[in-house]
Structure 1
Amino acid sequence: MRLLNAKDFALTYFNDERTVPDYLILSHTWSDDEVTMKDLKRISREQLARRASYGKVAKCCDMALEMGLEWVWLDTLCIDQTSSAELSEAINSMYQWYRQSAVCYAYLSDVSAVEDDFVGYQAMDEDDHPGRSSFRLARWWNRGWCLQELLAPRNMQFFNKNWEYIGSKHDLKTHISKVTGIDEYGLFIPDLSVLSVAHRMSWAARRQCTRPEDIAYCLLGIFNINMPLLYGEGQVRAFGRLQEEIMRQTEDHSIFAWSGAGTDFKNDMPNQTLTILKRDCYQCSY
């Protein structure tokens, strides 16, 4: 696991998970100009500071230091995206990395003023309230990778685009449940395997990923699956391999319990759309 030092922006690799220090981990949606590991190595901090996305990195480090944490993990910086082997290892480990973090900050880059969002979403029922709408419509709720980033952390805090505090996952649990369709119990359960495969799979309904295969890969941690990543295999094959691995590890066959109505599946497999699941595809039960 590679971590970013919040003081000097140096990257350090920890071979033994037993020696990994406490760290802050960031959950966010990517922009077009994210600072990558390659950028950090070849571009000066002065030049990087001109990028809008650099502010996210710097703020994350500052907030970690304020908490007494010296280390930070961001997927854009701490994974060598050019190495298929490292990317595969990271994706297979990511659920645990979020789980083992000291704190996870969810940065909602398209959510506006905290006064509207927090007060409106806590106290108002009207869907057209500006705070409620802004929080509910954040891109973060629709991204495939953000599902495990919501479920895994023990300590999760939400911030708006100005880095103003919205609330903790515990504080906002009722509202998060309404937005995601995940029951409050599921948001905090330490062992997801006590829930049926279909129940967990339903949480991925209508979530999207940029790369087709990631619709399957982003669910690995939720099902405690490790498998090699084969970018280029396509969505159908990737999801099929995920199904096979789930079947090898469990006798729960609810993954095949399609309701049939309004699904996008053919031959028990997803079609080629990026959003492969709908909430009514599964009989959601414990």
Structure 2
Amino acid sequence: MQQIPSSELRPQRLIETWSGKFRDFSGQPVPPYAILSHRWLEEKEEVSFNDYLHLRSETKKKGGYRKITEARKKAADDRLDYIWIDTCCIDKNNKSESNRNINSMYFYYRNSAICYVYLSDVWVKRSTRAGATIWGSEWFQRGWTLQELVAPKRLIFFRADWKPIGERHQLAGVIHRLTGISRSVLDGSKPIESVNIWTRMSWCAGRETTKPADLAYCLLGILGVSMDTRKVNMEDREEAFELLQKALALKYPEFKEFRDPKNILPNLRRQNAEVPAPVDFGKVNATLFHRMLFPQLVTGRRTLHEFHLHVPFNLL
């Protein structure tokens, strides 16, 4: 199968902003499109592919449907004819389609014309400063939203009432303090590919996903690797991370020797990799750092705070 250049990896199924109908672009050039990033509601409140395909009056009462409608309006206002929304544009009952979308999603966001970030838990402007408004939103604590934050060329944050808060480059300072991601990555002046994989992996520290395996999947695009997710149990985080580590070892040969926790710190120093500045690595057990890089070793809801490491890290 011919590999598609990442610059051309775009979603094949989009929603027309003027009609609300699906449009399939399989085998055709994909036109400019908007994309939505959001914190999922309870499953019963979101609109699935089949729900949207066979739209009923009950579906239109769901919070997820209102979200789709408002996002369509924003895209239309920005003179875009199409939008992609993960809840309804992926047939999750089709494992091959789900696998393709999981491996391509980073590039869906990267190749979008604009990304709308809907912060459903930000109801009012908490401060006259836009940056203070987003502080505390759960959106910044989720696994999948990491790639949705860094991948798009242009990204705008919205409150729960769909009033704009500001663009990513305008809020780069506060986002840096929230996430540890450098301002140069957030404002687009530094390509993500130029950041070493250890720093990229550490961006996911402390984030959570609903399905355990998703904590590995949400890193695929960030790390520039892919893997077959079709046979992985979504409840098995260890299996998913084992596949991720194998994929990393194939792309980054030097990665193999890092897999033993006792080798991590010496190898990081030998590779001149960037490491968290606030931490004195002479006093930190290497196993704990391994836990940071491979969250499958961390059980339950334990975070880096329990290991007495400072979060967020000033990594760059």
Q: Which category of TM-score, normalised to the shorter sequence, fits these structures? A: 0.7 to 0.9
Deviations 1:34-67 (A, max 9, x none): 01111112233x4332222211111111111111
Instruction: Please tell me whether the aligned partners of residues 88 and 228 of structure 1 are also in contact (alpha carbons under 8 angstroms).
Output: yes
Which residue is 2:46 aligned to? 34
Q: TM-score, structure 2 length as denominator?
A: 0.78
Equivalent position of 1:232 in the other structure: 233
Identical-pair percentage: 32
Whole-angstrom CA distance in 2 between matches of 1:192 and 1:277: 25
Q: Among 242, 264, 285, which residue is 1:260 paired with?
A: 285
1:22–1:69 contact (8 Å) kept in structure 2: yes
Q: Distance in 1 between matches of 2:315 and 2:124?
A: 38
Q: What residue in structure 2 maps to residue 5 of structure 1?
A: 16
Relative distance call for 1:194 and 1:113 in structure 2 (3 A) is same
**How much is the aligned-residue C-alpha RMSD, in angstroms?**
2.7
**Alpha-carbon spacing, 1:261–1:80, altered in 2? closer, same or farther (3 Å):** same
| 8 A contact 1:212–1:235 mirrored in 2 | yes
Read off the aligned partner of 2:285 and give its amino acid letter. G
CA-to-aligned-CA distance 1:235-283 (integer Å, 9 cap, x gap): 11211211121121124439653653683857x95326366874859x9
The answer for unaligned runs of 5 or more in structure 1 is 123-131
Q: Secondary structure at the match of 1:15?
A: coil
1:120 maps to which of 123, 129, 134: 129
Q: Cα distance 1:277–1:96, how it changes in 2: closer, same or farther (>3 A)? A: farther
Name the SS for the 2:165 alignment partner. strand
Change (3 A) 1:274 1:160: farther
Match of 2:151 in 1: 152
- Higher mean C-alpha deviation, range 206-215 or range 247-256: 247-256
> Which residue does 1:89 correspond to in 2?
100
Partner of 1:98: 109
**Which TM-score applies when normalising by structure 1?**
0.85
1:1-286 alignment, distance < 5 Å:
1-16=12-27, 19-32=29-42, 33-44=45-56, 46-114=57-125, 116-117=126-127, 119-122=128-131, 132=132, 135-187=134-186, 188=188, 191-229=191-229, 230-232=231-233, 234-253=236-255, 256=259, 257=264, 260=285, 263=288, 270-271=296-297, 273=299, 278=304, 280=309
What are the ranges of 5 or more consecutive residues in structure 2 without an aligned counterpart? 1-11, 266-283
Of residues 154-163 and 177-186 in structure 1, the stretch that sits farther from structure 2 once superposed is 177-186
SS at match of 2:61: coil
Provide the rounded CA distance (Å) in 2 between the counterparts of 1:261 and 1:246.
20
Q: CA deviation at 1:153?
A: 0.1
CA distance in structure 2 between the aligned counterparts of 1:110 and 1:255, rounded to whole angstroms: 39
Point out the more displaced range, 193-202 or 83-92: 193-202
Q: Tell me the SS of whatever aligns to 1:172.
A: helix
Are the structure 2 counterparts of residues 220 and 274 from structure 1 closer, same or farther at C-alpha, using a change threshold of 3 Å?
Answer: farther
CA distance in structure 2 between the partners assigned to 1:250 and 1:27 by the alignment: 30
Residue 150 of structure 1: SS of its match in structure 2?
helix
Deviation for aligned residue 1:285: 6.4
Q: Which amino acid aligns with 1:23?
A: Y
How far the C-alpha of 1:183 sits from its partner, in A, is: 1.2
**What is the aligned residue count?**
271
